[in-house]
Structure 1
Amino acid sequence: MSECIRAIPRTEKVNKVRKDGFVPGVVYGGNLAGSQPVKFEEKRLKKLLRHTYDPRLQVKINNEITPCVIQEVQRDSITGKLIHIALQVINDKTPLKINVPVIFSGQDVLQRRRLALQITRPEIMIRGRQETLPEYVEIDVSTKRLGDKITVADVPLKSNIRVINAANEILAVVTIAKLGLAS
Protein backbone atom coordinates (compact mmCIF):
# COMPACT_ATOMS: atom_id res chain seq x y z
CA MET A 1 0.00 0.00 0.00
CA SER A 2 2.64 2.48 -1.04
CA GLU A 3 0.62 4.52 -3.53
CA CYS A 4 -0.66 7.88 -2.28
CA ILE A 5 -3.13 10.15 -4.03
CA ARG A 6 -4.54 13.51 -3.02
CA ALA A 7 -8.31 13.82 -2.56
CA ILE A 8 -9.70 17.33 -2.55
CA PRO A 9 -12.92 17.89 -0.58
CA ARG A 10 -15.64 19.04 -2.96
CA THR A 11 -18.89 20.95 -2.75
CA GLU A 12 -19.54 21.51 -6.46
CA LYS A 13 -21.74 19.25 -8.60
CA VAL A 14 -20.18 16.28 -10.37
CA ASN A 15 -20.61 17.68 -13.91
CA LYS A 16 -18.55 20.77 -13.00
CA VAL A 17 -15.92 18.55 -11.34
CA ARG A 18 -15.58 16.46 -14.52
CA LYS A 19 -15.51 19.55 -16.75
CA ASP A 20 -12.60 20.92 -14.68
CA GLY A 21 -10.51 17.75 -15.25
CA PHE A 22 -11.28 15.93 -12.02
CA VAL A 23 -13.01 12.66 -11.16
CA PRO A 24 -15.67 12.90 -8.44
CA GLY A 25 -15.54 10.39 -5.64
CA VAL A 26 -16.50 9.58 -2.11
CA VAL A 27 -14.53 8.42 0.93
CA TYR A 28 -16.45 6.66 3.71
CA GLY A 29 -15.95 4.55 6.82
CA GLY A 30 -13.41 4.71 9.63
CA ASN A 31 -13.73 7.83 11.79
CA LEU A 32 -15.60 9.78 9.12
CA ALA A 33 -19.11 10.83 10.01
CA GLY A 34 -21.01 9.58 6.96
CA SER A 35 -19.32 9.92 3.61
CA GLN A 36 -17.12 12.73 2.36
CA PRO A 37 -17.46 13.93 -1.25
CA VAL A 38 -14.04 14.42 -2.84
CA LYS A 39 -12.43 14.87 -6.24
CA PHE A 40 -9.21 13.50 -7.73
CA GLU A 41 -7.00 14.83 -10.51
CA GLU A 42 -8.09 12.75 -13.49
CA LYS A 43 -4.60 12.22 -14.99
CA ARG A 44 -3.10 11.14 -11.66
CA LEU A 45 -5.99 8.79 -10.86
CA LYS A 46 -5.88 7.17 -14.32
CA LYS A 47 -2.14 6.60 -13.98
CA LEU A 48 -2.57 5.10 -10.51
CA LEU A 49 -5.33 2.71 -11.61
CA ARG A 50 -3.39 1.61 -14.70
CA HIS A 51 -0.20 0.73 -12.80
CA THR A 52 -1.42 -1.16 -9.75
CA TYR A 53 -3.26 -4.37 -8.98
CA ASP A 54 -3.60 -3.51 -5.31
CA PRO A 55 -6.93 -1.85 -4.42
CA ARG A 56 -5.36 -0.48 -1.22
CA LEU A 57 -3.83 2.98 -1.27
CA GLN A 58 -3.07 6.02 0.85
CA VAL A 59 -5.39 9.01 0.41
CA LYS A 60 -4.33 12.47 1.49
CA ILE A 61 -7.32 14.58 2.56
CA ASN A 62 -6.64 17.99 4.16
CA ASN A 63 -3.00 17.10 4.94
CA GLU A 64 -4.04 13.87 6.69
CA ILE A 65 -3.02 10.57 5.11
CA THR A 66 -5.61 7.82 5.45
CA PRO A 67 -5.32 4.19 4.35
CA CYS A 68 -8.20 3.26 2.04
CA VAL A 69 -9.37 0.51 -0.27
CA ILE A 70 -11.00 1.06 -3.66
CA GLN A 71 -14.53 -0.30 -3.43
CA GLU A 72 -15.90 0.80 -6.79
CA VAL A 73 -14.67 2.46 -9.96
CA GLN A 74 -17.35 3.63 -12.38
CA ARG A 75 -16.59 4.20 -16.05
CA ASP A 76 -18.65 5.53 -18.92
CA SER A 77 -19.98 2.45 -20.73
CA ILE A 78 -19.20 3.89 -24.16
CA THR A 79 -15.99 5.87 -23.74
CA GLY A 80 -14.47 4.00 -20.78
CA LYS A 81 -13.73 7.36 -19.13
CA LEU A 82 -13.59 7.43 -15.32
CA ILE A 83 -16.77 8.97 -13.91
CA HIS A 84 -16.68 8.14 -10.18
CA ILE A 85 -14.66 6.30 -7.52
CA ALA A 86 -15.66 5.11 -4.05
CA LEU A 87 -13.05 4.50 -1.34
CA GLN A 88 -13.49 2.90 2.07
CA VAL A 89 -11.27 3.89 4.97
CA ILE A 90 -9.37 0.87 6.26
CA ASN A 91 -9.80 0.03 9.91
CA ASP A 92 -7.26 -2.45 11.33
CA LYS A 93 -9.98 -4.30 13.24
CA THR A 94 -12.57 -4.65 10.47
CA PRO A 95 -12.15 -7.33 7.80
CA LEU A 96 -12.34 -6.06 4.22
CA LYS A 97 -13.99 -7.51 1.15
CA ILE A 98 -12.04 -6.72 -2.01
CA ASN A 99 -11.79 -7.93 -5.57
CA VAL A 100 -8.33 -9.15 -6.53
CA PRO A 101 -7.09 -10.13 -9.99
CA VAL A 102 -6.39 -13.76 -10.80
CA ILE A 103 -3.06 -14.19 -12.61
CA PHE A 104 -2.77 -17.39 -14.65
CA SER A 105 0.90 -18.34 -14.88
CA GLY A 106 2.16 -21.05 -17.24
CA GLN A 107 0.07 -20.00 -20.24
CA ASP A 108 3.24 -20.11 -22.38
CA VAL A 109 3.51 -23.86 -21.65
CA LEU A 110 -0.10 -24.32 -22.80
CA GLN A 111 0.63 -22.40 -26.01
CA ARG A 112 3.58 -24.65 -26.84
CA ARG A 113 1.14 -27.57 -26.58
CA ARG A 114 -1.28 -25.69 -28.89
CA LEU A 115 -3.70 -25.05 -26.07
CA ALA A 116 -5.15 -21.78 -24.84
CA LEU A 117 -6.78 -20.53 -21.69
CA GLN A 118 -10.25 -19.07 -22.05
CA ILE A 119 -10.64 -16.81 -19.03
CA THR A 120 -14.23 -16.37 -17.88
CA ARG A 121 -13.60 -14.54 -14.59
CA PRO A 122 -10.40 -12.48 -14.22
CA GLU A 123 -10.91 -11.63 -10.53
CA ILE A 124 -12.37 -12.99 -7.31
CA MET A 125 -13.70 -11.41 -4.14
CA ILE A 126 -11.87 -12.21 -0.93
CA ARG A 127 -12.33 -11.23 2.71
CA GLY A 128 -9.74 -10.79 5.43
CA ARG A 129 -7.81 -8.32 7.52
CA GLN A 130 -6.19 -5.68 5.39
CA GLU A 131 -2.61 -6.59 6.30
CA THR A 132 -3.12 -10.20 5.11
CA LEU A 133 -4.87 -9.50 1.81
CA PRO A 134 -2.76 -10.15 -1.31
CA GLU A 135 -2.59 -7.77 -4.29
CA TYR A 136 -3.50 -10.65 -6.59
CA VAL A 137 -3.78 -14.43 -6.58
CA GLU A 138 -1.80 -16.68 -8.93
CA ILE A 139 -2.75 -20.05 -10.36
CA ASP A 140 -0.26 -22.21 -12.29
CA VAL A 141 -1.99 -23.65 -15.38
CA SER A 142 1.12 -25.19 -17.01
CA THR A 143 0.08 -28.78 -16.20
CA LYS A 144 -3.55 -28.42 -17.27
CA ARG A 145 -5.00 -30.51 -20.12
CA LEU A 146 -7.58 -29.84 -22.81
CA GLY A 147 -11.01 -29.41 -21.22
CA ASP A 148 -9.69 -28.80 -17.70
CA LYS A 149 -11.61 -26.18 -15.74
CA ILE A 150 -9.97 -23.87 -13.24
CA THR A 151 -12.41 -23.02 -10.45
CA VAL A 152 -12.40 -20.79 -7.39
CA ALA A 153 -11.55 -23.91 -5.34
CA ASP A 154 -8.17 -24.03 -7.19
CA VAL A 155 -7.12 -20.62 -5.82
CA PRO A 156 -4.30 -21.03 -3.27
CA LEU A 157 -4.95 -18.79 -0.26
CA LYS A 158 -3.82 -18.60 3.34
CA SER A 159 -6.27 -19.96 5.91
CA ASN A 160 -7.03 -16.49 7.32
CA ILE A 161 -8.41 -15.31 3.97
CA ARG A 162 -11.86 -16.35 2.81
CA VAL A 163 -13.10 -16.42 -0.79
CA ILE A 164 -16.57 -14.96 -1.23
CA ASN A 165 -17.21 -16.52 -4.66
CA ALA A 166 -18.70 -20.03 -4.85
CA ALA A 167 -16.01 -22.75 -4.84
CA ASN A 168 -17.36 -24.31 -8.06
CA GLU A 169 -17.40 -21.00 -10.00
CA ILE A 170 -15.35 -21.41 -13.18
CA LEU A 171 -12.47 -18.95 -13.66
CA ALA A 172 -11.03 -20.39 -16.88
CA VAL A 173 -11.17 -23.39 -19.24
CA VAL A 174 -8.34 -24.94 -21.27
CA THR A 175 -9.28 -25.01 -24.97
CA ILE A 176 -7.60 -25.64 -28.31
CA ALA A 177 -5.60 -22.64 -29.51
CA LYS A 178 -6.96 -20.95 -32.62
CA LEU A 179 -4.30 -20.72 -35.27
CA GLY A 180 -4.13 -17.80 -37.67
CA LEU A 181 -5.28 -18.42 -41.22
CA ALA A 182 -2.51 -18.75 -43.79
CA SER A 183 -2.80 -16.49 -46.83
Structure 2
Amino acid sequence: MTPTIKAEERPTRPKGELRRLRDQGKVPGNLYGGKASGSTPIAVEEKELLALLRHHPNAVLDLEMAGSDTRPVMVAGVQRDPLTRNVLHIDLREIDLKTPVRTHAPLEPAGESPAEKEGGIVQMLLHELEIECLPADIPDAIPVDVSGLKLGDSLVVRDLKVPPGVLVKTDPSLVVVTVLAPQKDDAEPAEPEANAAETDRSGAEEKTAARS
Protein backbone atom coordinates (compact mmCIF):
# COMPACT_ATOMS: atom_id res chain seq x y z
CA MET A 1 0.00 0.00 0.00
CA THR A 2 1.35 3.41 -1.00
CA PRO A 3 1.92 5.77 1.96
CA THR A 4 -0.21 8.93 1.94
CA ILE A 5 0.74 12.51 2.75
CA LYS A 6 -1.81 15.28 3.14
CA ALA A 7 -1.00 18.87 2.25
CA GLU A 8 -2.75 22.19 1.96
CA GLU A 9 -1.94 25.19 -0.17
CA ARG A 10 -0.48 28.07 1.77
CA PRO A 11 -0.37 31.75 0.89
CA THR A 12 3.03 33.23 0.07
CA ARG A 13 3.51 35.70 2.89
CA PRO A 14 6.43 37.10 4.90
CA LYS A 15 8.49 35.05 7.32
CA GLY A 16 6.01 35.76 10.11
CA GLU A 17 3.50 33.53 8.36
CA LEU A 18 6.01 30.69 8.15
CA ARG A 19 6.65 31.03 11.87
CA ARG A 20 2.91 30.88 12.52
CA LEU A 21 2.65 27.67 10.49
CA ARG A 22 5.47 26.06 12.47
CA ASP A 23 3.83 27.12 15.73
CA GLN A 24 0.73 25.23 14.56
CA GLY A 25 2.76 22.07 14.07
CA LYS A 26 3.00 22.41 10.30
CA VAL A 27 5.98 22.44 7.95
CA PRO A 28 6.02 24.81 4.96
CA GLY A 29 7.10 23.45 1.62
CA ASN A 30 6.77 23.53 -2.14
CA LEU A 31 5.31 21.14 -4.69
CA TYR A 32 7.13 20.92 -8.03
CA GLY A 33 6.29 19.20 -11.29
CA GLY A 34 2.98 18.24 -12.77
CA LYS A 35 1.07 20.34 -15.27
CA ALA A 36 1.60 23.62 -13.45
CA SER A 37 4.78 25.55 -14.20
CA GLY A 38 6.91 26.65 -11.28
CA SER A 39 5.95 25.49 -7.80
CA THR A 40 2.95 25.47 -5.49
CA PRO A 41 3.46 26.61 -1.87
CA ILE A 42 2.14 23.95 0.53
CA ALA A 43 2.09 23.05 4.22
CA VAL A 44 2.04 19.57 5.79
CA GLU A 45 1.53 18.27 9.31
CA GLU A 46 4.90 17.89 11.04
CA LYS A 47 4.04 14.65 12.88
CA GLU A 48 2.84 12.98 9.69
CA LEU A 49 5.88 14.19 7.78
CA LEU A 50 8.37 12.97 10.41
CA ALA A 51 6.79 9.50 10.39
CA LEU A 52 7.06 9.33 6.60
CA LEU A 53 10.68 10.51 6.62
CA ARG A 54 11.52 7.91 9.25
CA HIS A 55 9.86 4.92 7.58
CA HIS A 56 9.53 5.86 3.88
CA PRO A 57 12.22 8.48 3.09
CA ASN A 58 12.62 7.46 -0.56
CA ALA A 59 9.21 5.98 -1.31
CA VAL A 60 6.52 7.11 -3.72
CA LEU A 61 3.78 8.91 -1.76
CA ASP A 62 0.15 9.61 -2.60
CA LEU A 63 -0.35 13.34 -2.14
CA GLU A 64 -3.84 14.39 -1.06
CA MET A 65 -4.81 18.04 -1.43
CA ALA A 66 -8.25 19.63 -1.19
CA GLY A 67 -9.78 20.32 -4.58
CA SER A 68 -7.46 18.04 -6.58
CA ASP A 69 -7.01 14.36 -7.36
CA THR A 70 -4.48 12.22 -5.52
CA ARG A 71 -1.12 12.42 -7.26
CA PRO A 72 2.15 10.49 -6.89
CA VAL A 73 5.03 12.47 -5.39
CA MET A 74 8.47 11.90 -3.89
CA VAL A 75 10.47 13.88 -1.37
CA ALA A 76 12.88 16.05 -3.36
CA GLY A 77 14.55 17.93 -0.52
CA VAL A 78 14.46 18.44 3.24
CA GLN A 79 15.81 21.50 5.04
CA ARG A 80 16.66 21.01 8.72
CA ASP A 81 17.81 23.27 11.50
CA PRO A 82 21.58 22.62 11.88
CA LEU A 83 21.35 22.53 15.68
CA THR A 84 17.96 21.03 16.56
CA ARG A 85 17.60 18.94 13.36
CA ASN A 86 13.94 20.03 13.22
CA VAL A 87 12.45 20.04 9.71
CA LEU A 88 12.13 23.63 8.49
CA HIS A 89 11.04 23.09 4.89
CA ILE A 90 10.06 20.25 2.57
CA ASP A 91 10.13 19.96 -1.22
CA LEU A 92 7.87 17.44 -2.97
CA ARG A 93 8.03 16.58 -6.65
CA GLU A 94 5.17 15.13 -8.65
CA ILE A 95 6.34 12.17 -10.71
CA ASP A 96 5.24 10.11 -13.70
CA LEU A 97 4.86 6.47 -12.68
CA LYS A 98 5.96 5.39 -16.17
CA THR A 99 9.22 7.35 -16.11
CA PRO A 100 12.37 6.15 -14.26
CA VAL A 101 13.46 8.27 -11.31
CA ARG A 102 16.75 8.69 -9.47
CA THR A 103 16.66 8.15 -5.75
CA HIS A 104 18.54 6.40 -2.92
CA ALA A 105 17.98 3.00 -1.34
CA PRO A 106 19.31 2.07 2.11
CA LEU A 107 21.72 -0.84 2.55
CA GLU A 108 21.03 -3.40 5.27
CA PRO A 109 23.47 -6.10 6.45
CA ALA A 110 22.08 -9.62 6.15
CA GLY A 111 23.36 -12.87 7.62
CA GLU A 112 26.26 -13.38 10.01
CA SER A 113 29.92 -13.49 9.11
CA PRO A 114 31.80 -16.56 10.47
CA ALA A 115 34.58 -14.14 11.39
CA GLU A 116 32.38 -12.68 14.13
CA LYS A 117 32.82 -15.90 16.10
CA GLU A 118 36.57 -15.23 16.00
CA GLY A 119 36.11 -11.73 17.34
CA GLY A 120 36.01 -10.07 13.92
CA ILE A 121 34.07 -6.85 13.46
CA VAL A 122 31.73 -6.32 10.50
CA GLN A 123 31.97 -2.63 9.58
CA MET A 124 29.53 -1.02 7.14
CA LEU A 125 31.25 1.80 5.24
CA LEU A 126 28.41 2.63 2.85
CA HIS A 127 24.80 2.96 3.98
CA GLU A 128 22.87 3.71 0.79
CA LEU A 129 23.06 3.44 -2.99
CA GLU A 130 22.03 5.91 -5.62
CA ILE A 131 19.73 4.07 -8.00
CA GLU A 132 17.55 4.64 -11.05
CA CYS A 133 14.36 2.70 -11.73
CA LEU A 134 10.63 3.00 -12.23
CA PRO A 135 8.85 4.31 -9.12
CA ALA A 136 7.12 0.95 -8.62
CA ASP A 137 10.50 -0.83 -8.52
CA ILE A 138 12.10 1.28 -5.76
CA PRO A 139 13.23 -1.22 -3.07
CA ASP A 140 12.65 -0.57 0.62
CA ALA A 141 16.26 -1.68 1.19
CA ILE A 142 19.05 -3.58 -0.54
CA PRO A 143 20.50 -6.49 1.49
CA VAL A 144 24.25 -6.84 1.98
CA ASP A 145 24.98 -10.54 2.52
CA VAL A 146 27.96 -10.86 4.88
CA SER A 147 27.54 -14.59 5.60
CA GLY A 148 30.46 -15.55 3.35
CA LEU A 149 32.94 -12.94 4.58
CA LYS A 150 36.06 -13.98 6.49
CA LEU A 151 38.58 -11.86 8.39
CA GLY A 152 39.97 -9.20 6.07
CA ASP A 153 37.28 -9.72 3.39
CA SER A 154 35.32 -6.86 1.85
CA LEU A 155 32.41 -6.30 -0.52
CA VAL A 156 32.25 -3.48 -3.05
CA VAL A 157 29.20 -2.02 -4.77
CA ARG A 158 29.53 -4.25 -7.83
CA ASP A 159 29.29 -7.34 -5.57
CA LEU A 160 25.77 -6.49 -4.41
CA LYS A 161 22.67 -8.15 -5.82
CA VAL A 162 19.99 -5.60 -6.67
CA PRO A 163 16.38 -6.28 -7.70
CA PRO A 164 15.49 -6.57 -11.40
CA GLY A 165 14.89 -3.24 -13.08
CA VAL A 166 17.13 -1.34 -10.66
CA LEU A 167 20.18 0.41 -12.12
CA VAL A 168 22.94 1.33 -9.64
CA LYS A 169 24.47 4.78 -10.15
CA THR A 170 26.93 4.66 -7.24
CA ASP A 171 30.64 4.09 -8.06
CA PRO A 172 30.91 0.26 -8.42
CA SER A 173 34.38 0.20 -6.82
CA LEU A 174 33.33 1.75 -3.50
CA VAL A 175 33.75 -0.53 -0.48
CA VAL A 176 30.42 -1.32 1.16
CA VAL A 177 31.45 -3.52 4.07
CA THR A 178 34.66 -4.98 5.47
CA VAL A 179 35.52 -7.45 8.22
CA LEU A 180 38.15 -6.19 10.64
CA ALA A 181 40.40 -8.48 12.66
CA PRO A 182 40.08 -8.24 16.44
CA GLN A 183 42.41 -5.68 17.96
CA LYS A 184 45.30 -7.03 20.03
CA ASP A 185 46.29 -5.48 23.32
CA ASP A 186 49.91 -4.42 22.79
CA ALA A 187 50.25 -2.68 26.12
CA GLU A 188 53.32 -3.82 28.08
CA PRO A 189 53.11 -4.33 31.84
CA ALA A 190 54.31 -1.25 33.67
CA GLU A 191 55.87 -3.17 36.58
CA PRO A 192 59.26 -4.02 34.95
CA GLU A 193 59.75 -0.34 34.08
CA ALA A 194 59.03 0.60 37.64
CA ASN A 195 61.57 -1.99 38.87
CA ALA A 196 64.16 -0.69 36.42
CA ALA A 197 63.63 2.85 37.62
CA GLU A 198 63.98 1.62 41.18
CA THR A 199 67.30 -0.08 40.32
CA ASP A 200 68.58 3.11 38.68
CA ARG A 201 67.71 5.11 41.76
CA SER A 202 69.46 2.57 44.02
CA GLY A 203 72.58 2.70 41.86
CA ALA A 204 72.61 6.47 41.97
CA GLU A 205 72.27 6.44 45.73
CA GLU A 206 75.21 4.01 46.07
CA LYS A 207 77.44 6.22 43.89
CA THR A 208 76.50 9.26 45.95
CA ALA A 209 77.32 7.41 49.16
CA ALA A 210 80.70 6.31 47.76
CA ARG A 211 81.67 9.90 46.90
CA SER A 212 80.85 11.04 50.42
Superposition TM-score tier, normalisation by shorter sequence: 0.7 to 0.9
CA distance in 2, matches of 1:111, 1:127: 34
- Counterpart in 2 of 1:71? 76
CA distance in 2, matches of 1:7, 1:105: 37
**Unaligned stretches of 5+ in structure 2?**
184-212
For residues 39-84 of structure 1, give each alpha carbon's deviation from its aligned partner in whole angstroms, at most 9, with x where no partner exists: 1111111122223355221111225211111222222222121122
Q: Secondary structure at the match of 2:70?
A: strand
Count of residues paired in the alignment: 179
CA distance in 2, matches of 1:177, 1:7: 51
Change beyond 3 A, Cα 1:17–1:93: same
Query: Quick check: which one's strand share is greater?
Result: 1
Q: Identity over the aligned pairs, expressed in percent? A: 30
Aligned equivalent of 2:49, options 42, 45, 49: 45
For residues 109-133 of structure 1, give each alpha carbon's deviation from its aligned partner in whole angstroms, at most 9, with x where no partner exists: 5543422222222111100111222
Specify the code of the residue in structure 2 equivalent to 1:128: C
**Unaligned stretches of 5+ in structure 1?**
179-183
Contact residue 152 and residue 168 of structure 1 kept, 8 A: yes
Change beyond 3 A, Cα 1:24–1:147: farther
- Counterpart in 2 of 1:88? 93
Which 4+ residue blocks in structure 1 deviate beyond 4 angstroms? 107-110
Superposition TM-score, scaled by structure 1 size: 0.85
Specify the code of the residue in structure 2 equivalent to 1:147: G
Superposition TM-score, scaled by structure 2 size: 0.74
Q: Secondary structure at the match of 2:49?
A: helix
Q: How do 1:12-31 residues align onto structure 2 when only pairs under 5 Å count? A: 12=13, 13=15, 14-31=18-35
Structure 1 residue 98 corresponds to structure 2 residue 103: yes
Structure 1 residue 170 corresponds to structure 2 residue 175: yes
For residues 119-164 of structure 1, give each alpha carbon's deviation from its aligned partner in whole angstroms, at most 9, with x where no partner exists: 2221111001112221211111111122222221122124532111
Larger radius of gyration: 2
CA distance in 2, matches of 1:136, 1:98: 12
Aligned equivalent of 1:61, options 42, 65, 70: 65
Specify the code of the residue in structure 2 equivalent to 1:62: A
Specify the code of the residue in structure 2 equivalent to 1:50: R
Aligned residues: CA RMSD:
2.3
Change beyond 3 A, Cα 1:109–1:56: farther
Contact residue 158 and residue 172 of structure 2 kept, 8 A: yes
CA distance in 1, matches of 2:182, 2:46: 39
